[in-house]
């Protein structure tokens, strides 16, 4: 278990008022440095699973371990802190805070995680590190001065990726990050993301309903095969 970055055991989660659990996962493990593609249709409990991993939700039964730490033993504020320190999220769209500049958006997690902040300023400043990451994601120059609302969707997603990567959190969770991009952009984005994760040694959990993206990843897992409650229904 010590090698598992993410370990789930006997997890059951019920939304209040629902008769059957939306998630019933006996076991699910991810090793350090893996690139995992988690496939699931909308409504399959994907978002619920990610909220459980992020510590925003807590399961009624079972355990979730991240980096060997049992999330269920942490208080709510500690789970928020843990998320800030160890997980970078990228969502489908509208990832950015509209009133902050591109750089401020990238630096945002450092405000909530002294750990990631310390990691960054050990070698450089937050701004320089943000610019370095953005440059790796093909964003530089005049683009950085623009308001984030003026960026294209593809550019916005790359800013979001830089934000998830800054300060090297151990886990990157991407939830349908490419579904609002066209096919060319999609491939470019995934390749950039994987390259960055390789460099920094993060573990990547990529969640999507789009099976055509499988080929970029080490492992592909179908959520329905993990989730017993889905199998019972179908």
Partner 1 sequence: MAILQLALKSLWNRRFTAGLTLLSITLSVALLLGVERLRNESRSSFANTISGTDLIVGARSGSIQLLLYSVFRIGNPTNNIDWQSYQAIIKHPNVKWSIPITLGDSHHGFRVMGTTPDYFKYYRYSRKRPLQFQNGKPFTDVYDAVLGAEVAEQLGYQLDQKIVIAHGAGKVSLIKHDNKPFTVVGILNKTGTPVDRAVHVDLRGIEAIHIDWQGGSPTPGMRITADKAKQLDLNPKTITAAMLGLSSRISTFKVRHYINNYREEPLQAILPGVALQELWDMMAVAEKALLAISLFVVLVGLTGMVTAILTSLNERRREMAILRSVGARPAHILLLISGEAIGLCLLGILLGIGLLYSLLFIGQPLIESHYGLFINIDWPSTYEFGLLGILLLASLLVSLIPGIRAYRYSLADGMTIRL
**Footprint on this chain of partner 1 (rule: CB under 8 A):** 47, 50-51, 54, 56-57, 76-77, 80-81, 83-85, 89, 91-100, 104, 108-109, 111-113, 163
Is 92 in contact with 176 (CB distance < 8 Å)?
yes
Within 10 A of 129 (CB to CB), how many other CB atoms are there?
A: 22
How near is the Cβ of 150 to partner 1 at its closest, in Å? 14
Cα 96 vs. chain centroid, distance in angstroms? 15
Q: Are 105 and 73 in contact (CB under 8 A)?
A: no
Q: How far is the CB of 106 from partner 1 (least distance, A)?
A: 10
What does each C-alpha distance from 171 to 49, 59, 67, 164 come to in angstroms?
Answer: 15, 20, 9, 9
Choice between 8 and 174, CB closer to partner 1: 174
Nearer to partner 1, 91 or 216 (CB): 91
Token code pair at residue 77 = 């504020």
Minimum CB distance to partner 1 smaller for 104 or for 187:
104
Nearer to partner 1, 150 or 214 (CB): 150
Q: Smallest distance, Å, CB 84 to partner 1? A: 2
């Amino acid at each position: 278990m010590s090698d598992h970055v993410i370990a789930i055991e006997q997890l059951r989660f019920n939304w209040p008022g629902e008769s059957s659990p939306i998630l019933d996962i006996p076991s699910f493990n991810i090793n350090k440095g893996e690139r995992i593609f988690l496939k699931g249709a909308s409504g399959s409990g994907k978002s619920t699973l990610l909220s459980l991993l992020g510590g925003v939700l807590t399961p009624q039964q079972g355990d979730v371990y991240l980096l060997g730490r049992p999330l269920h033993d942490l208080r709510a504020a500690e789970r928020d802190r843990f998320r800030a320190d160890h997980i970078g999220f990228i969502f489908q769209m509208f990832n950015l805070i509209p009133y902050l500049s591109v750089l401020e958006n990238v630096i945002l997690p450092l405000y909530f995680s002294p750990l990631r902040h310390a990691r960054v300023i050990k070698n450089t400043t937050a701004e320089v590190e943000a610019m370095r990451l953005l440059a790796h994601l093909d964003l530089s120059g005049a683009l950085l001065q623009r308001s984030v609302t003026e960026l294209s969707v593809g550019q916005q997603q790359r800013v979001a990726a830089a934000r998830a990567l800054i300060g090297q959190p151990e886990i990157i969770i991407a939830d349908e990050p490419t579904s609002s991009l066209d096919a060319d952009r999609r491939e470019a984005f995934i390749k950039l993301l994987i390259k960055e994760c390789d460099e920094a040694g993060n573990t990547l959990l990529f969640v999507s309903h789009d099976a055509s993206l499988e080929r970029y990843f080490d492992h592909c897992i179908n959520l329905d095969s993990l989730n017993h409650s889905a199998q019972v229904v179908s």
